[in-house]
Structure 1
Amino acid sequence: MYNVIRDLHSYWAFLVLAVLIMATVNSIIKFVGKKEYGPKDFRLALFTIIVSHIQLLVGIILYVVSPRMALFSELGMGGIMKDSISRLYLIEHPIINIIALVFITMGYSKHKAKLSSNAKFKTISIFYSIGLVLLLSRIPWSMWLGL
């Protein structure tokens, strides 16, 4: 079960990144170009938040069933913090990615309250960009890409 959930979490991350990058770039280009906010923009922002939240749910399940959880009782928090790999998987990756998802969710929620297209694109651009940078900073690249 663990391997299936881990693989789903890894492959779904490609979709999350692709959609988040598309939504972020779309909003930046349309903000700079002073374009009108349309139904396609709304659907892209909505799809981004949906796939991101699905990734969060899969990640939480993965975290709970992970054999790495035993390290909390074996090493304690001090031991985990001393080991960079354990710290990445058990502390940094989950916390930073949850914070990234909070930014993405805030951006989506705040953009709906804006009245002008420019304000909508600006809000999405800022919050989705912050979320994207945070996500990219805590991806375990060596494990994810098989390096």
Structure 2
Amino acid sequence: MESYSLLLQAHSGWRYVVMLTLVLAILMSIAGWLGNKPYTPGNRKINLFALISAHIQFLLGLILYFISPLVKAGDMAIAMKSDALRYWTVEHTTMMLIAIALITIGHSKSKRLIDSVAKHRTVAIFYTLAFIIIIAAIALSGRPIIGR
């Protein structure tokens, strides 16, 4: 199996790890925020696991991007005229970069806070926004004109 196909399968499969850890982090943060619960080492770990899994996914995606036949062809003028090519070379990448930035910012901001409820609220808001963007990016890839 060529490296591109192998990485594509790894990237596709790893998304489930990312989604699971994000959902767990979001649910635990919402419960902590609304329930006025203390921010525990367990909260910190699941938030960190979500951050790490998302960064691994992003790195896999970046590697895929640069070894992709779409990018190697190098004609971005043609790519911009095609819905499918534009989606995979620009839109998907941009949406995922924004999601990673939100996760990273949310995690960093929560680490600097002292109040448990504020930590939970920060993670809940930033991780949820990132999750929505990720879901949107995945859903858009299923449009008939864009599909693989």
Same fold judged by TM-score > 0.5? yes
SS at match of 2:74: helix
CA distance in 2, matches of 1:125, 1:100: 14
Q: CA deviation at 1:141?
A: 3.5
Alignment-derived partner of residue 141 in structure 1: 142
Q: Which letter does structure 1 place at the counterpart of 2:32? A: K
CA distance in 1, matches of 2:14, 2:124: 22
Q: CA deviation at 1:29?
A: 1.7
What is the count of residue pairs matched by the alignment?
142
Q: Which letter does structure 2 place at the counterpart of 1:49? A: L
Alignment-derived partner of residue 33 in structure 1: 35
Alignment-derived partner of residue 80 in structure 1: 79
CA distance in 1, matches of 2:72, 2:119: 45
Q: Does structure 1 conserve the Cα–Cα contact (< 8 Å) formed by 2:66 and 2:72?
A: no
Alignment-derived partner of residue 131 in structure 2: 132
Question: Unaligned stretches of 5+ in structure 1?
Answer: none
CA distance in 1, matches of 2:58, 2:35: 33
Q: Does structure 1 conserve the Cα–Cα contact (< 8 Å) formed by 2:95 and 2:137?
A: yes
Tell me if 1:62 matches 2:64.
Answer: yes
Alignment-derived partner of residue 52 in structure 2: 50
Q: Which letter does structure 2 place at the counterpart of 1:91? A: V
Work out which of the residue numbers 3, 6, 19 in structure 2 matches 1:4.
6
Question: Unaligned stretches of 5+ in structure 2?
Answer: none
1:44-85 CA-to-partner distances (Å, cap 9, x unmatched) read: 000011111111111111011111114532xx33x3223211
Alignment-derived partner of residue 94 in structure 1: 93
Q: Does structure 2 conserve the Cα–Cα contact (< 8 Å) formed by 1:9 and 1:59?
A: yes
SS at match of 1:34: coil
Tell me if 1:113 matches 2:112.
Answer: yes
Q: TM-score, normalised by structure 2?
A: 0.89
Q: CA deviation at 1:26?
A: 1.3
CA RMSD of aligned residues (A): 1.8
Q: Which letter does structure 1 place at the counterpart of 2:4? A: Y
Report percent identity of matched pairs: 34
SS at match of 1:123: helix
SS at match of 1:115: coil
CA distance in 1, matches of 2:47, 2:84: 33
